[in-house]
Amino acid sequence: MTSKTLLGRLYAAVGTETAPALRRQIVRVAVYAVLQGVTFVLMVPALRALLRHDTGTAWAWIGVMTVSAAATLVARHLQSMGGFRVGMATINGLHHRLGDHLATLPLGWFSADRTGRLTRLIGQGAKDVSGIIAHLLEPLLTGTLTPLVVVAGVFVFDWRIGLTLLICAPVLYAVHRWTTRLAERVDDRLEETASEANGRVVEFARAQPVLRASGPGGPGLVLLDDALEEQDRATRRRARADAPARMLFGLTVQLGVAAALVTGTAHLLGGGDPATTIATLVLVVRFAEPVTAIAGLAGTFRSSRAALAGVTGVLDARPLPEPDRTAEEAPARTPGSAVAVELRDVSFGYAPDRTVLDGVTFTAEAGTTVALVGASGSGKTTVTRLVARFFDVGSGSVHIGGDDVRDLTTDELAGMLAMVFQDVYLFDGTIRENIRVARPDAGEEEVERVARLARVDDIVTRLPDGWDTRVGEGGAALSGGERQRVSLARALLKDAPVVLLDEATASLDAENQAAIQRALADLSGRSTLLVVAHRLETITTADRIVVLGDGRVAESGTHEELMALNGRYAAFWRERNRSLGWRLATAEEVGAS
């Protein structure tokens, strides 16, 4: 990445709030870089006068140089303080910008791997971006502006040496670009292998029960080993690529200096003024210092580039289009009353070449319970995600209360829905706080009522500090079924017009089954319930069953109607009953023995 695109991206990333402060900081650093160059240049007339034994003129120039050096020091102090200040403001600003932007992104954007990368981005990434301002701006500008001022000064004193340096500049730039590109290629590979290795380590830790069952040296360990070895190889390749790149750049700079020396010496031998030439050549050496410093920072440049790319990648993610109207123009609605959910000829695929839903049409009338049934992968969960607008449909439309979900703002849609999905997230707070998230102004009795209905009170009595027990990050202190019960309590408290429920696929214990049943009974009538149903009880008691197959609605009706049809649903039902019967029989046998 060139300095220009780095700065351009930096501007875009920090946003309009921090951009003016960043601009001022760039000016501060630029003033410092130019002053530093001017101080270097002032050395030439001072040195020339000394070489000519003209002490009076020399002292005058040394005086001017001292003033310039003092100004450089002040500028340096101001830019370094500014760098720190603007860097801190950038971290804060980026956290807010990322937070605000994330809140507008479709829920479907938050896949597991993205969420993993986001954690790193918000912590380390924001720091790395602010590091560009605090630590990279200075070498970047002093590595370009200071040498430019030096070259201009050299021109004033000896145009031949100046011209030699000017000819070297594009060569230097080309070599810098070339070596950077080479190193970037190795870097990309290193980044890839590091991500792969990180993923494998997490997988290795998470999949311990499975891996242990497959014995030592099992496939998990082999995969992790391979990933770590690949990362190791990439690290060594980078070290091998880095050193020659840096050496090549340093060599080019030295060649430039040597060319200037040769030009100067030739001029001297041809009868040029020795004082001016020698003083100018001393200045040339000054030209090399900041330029060479840039090469030493190549690695930092590249990691900053990666951090910036990560941040801009998130900030560039497109939010779902919001309707172009004010809150007052929102469709009128009776609060708390159930509304119909309708899918009209909906087609959708996660990837363009793979259709998951292909012309799905059905209606869940207001206040009814609709069970979505179908083979694994038939798109049941996808239907609920489209209703909640995790993604927008490919074609067709989804309506809630008669309105296309795309015509509702994110807040309006969120206000109408309660979601009880399998991957329930609980905040690291108490259970009470976790339920209350659904409706912060709910009274104490109401919270306790819904907790009883979802049988959260049973969980509470088992916990060491009862209601005040913290549940750990993500609800780690609770089992999956218990987390879902807290989530059910949230849905009950929210009393949303539409409730989307993804029943656990794993067979539930009696307590969790009872919790779901009571919650569903409480919600039915008051809310429209769309349930990805796995339990036979939920399915048979639903007002309507929608059977998905081959991306379409294969059958739809009540349990009795579908059984009479003797099609896909009847086959599914017989199959489920058989497996359930087998399980019950086994349980009885176990009990009898």
Ligand X SMILES: Nc1ncnc2c1ncn2[C@@H]1O[C@H](COP(=O)(O)OP(=O)(O)OP(=O)(O)O)[C@@H](O)[C@H]1O
Residues near ligand X (CB under 6 A): 111, 350, 356, 374, 376-382, 532
Q: How far is residue 516's CA from residue 533's CA, in Å, rounded to a whole number?
A: 11
What residue type is 493 in one-letter code? L
Our CB check for ligand X shows the closer of 283 and 360 to be 360
Shortest approach of ligand X to residue 37 CB, angstroms?
Answer: 55
Say whether 421 sits in a helix, a strand or coil.
coil
Our CB check for ligand X shows the closer of 380 and 535 to be 380
Our CB check for ligand X shows the closer of 21 and 504 to be 504
Shortest approach of ligand X to residue 424 CB, angstroms?
Answer: 15
Overall size of the chain counted in residues: 593
**Which residues make beta-bridge pairs with 358?**
347
CA distances from 327 to 145, 348, 401, 407, 411 (A): 52, 29, 17, 12, 10
Our CB check for ligand X shows the closer of 376 and 461 to be 376
Shortest approach of ligand X to residue 380 CB, angstroms?
Answer: 4
Q: How far is residue 473's CA from residue 450's CA, in Å, rounded to a whole number?
A: 23
Q: How far is residue 320's CA from residue 11's CA, in Å, rounded to a whole number?
A: 24
Our CB check for ligand X shows the closer of 38 and 533 to be 533
**Which residues make beta-bridge pairs with 418?**
499
Enter the tokens of residue 277.
Answer: 């030439």
CA distances from 139 to 2, 84, 132, 587 (A): 14, 15, 10, 74
Our CB check for ligand X shows the closer of 2 and 111 to be 111
Shortest approach of ligand X to residue 203 CB, angstroms?
Answer: 18
Shortest approach of ligand X to residue 363 CB, angstroms?
Answer: 20
Shortest approach of ligand X to residue 377 CB, angstroms?
Answer: 4
* Buried-exposed string 421-444: b where 16+ CB fall within 10 A, e elsewhere: bbebebeeebbbbbbbebbeebee
Helix (H) or strand (E) holding 357: strand 357-364
Our CB check for ligand X shows the closer of 90 and 512 to be 512
Q: How far is residue 199's CA from residue 116's CA, in Å, rounded to a whole number?
A: 10
Residue (of 552, 562, 555, 518) closest to 538 by Cα position = 518
Q: By the 8 A CB rule, do 176 and 239 touch?
A: no
Our CB check for ligand X shows the closer of 25 and 382 to be 382
Shortest approach of ligand X to residue 542 CB, angstroms?
Answer: 16
Shortest approach of ligand X to residue 535 CB, angstroms?
Answer: 13
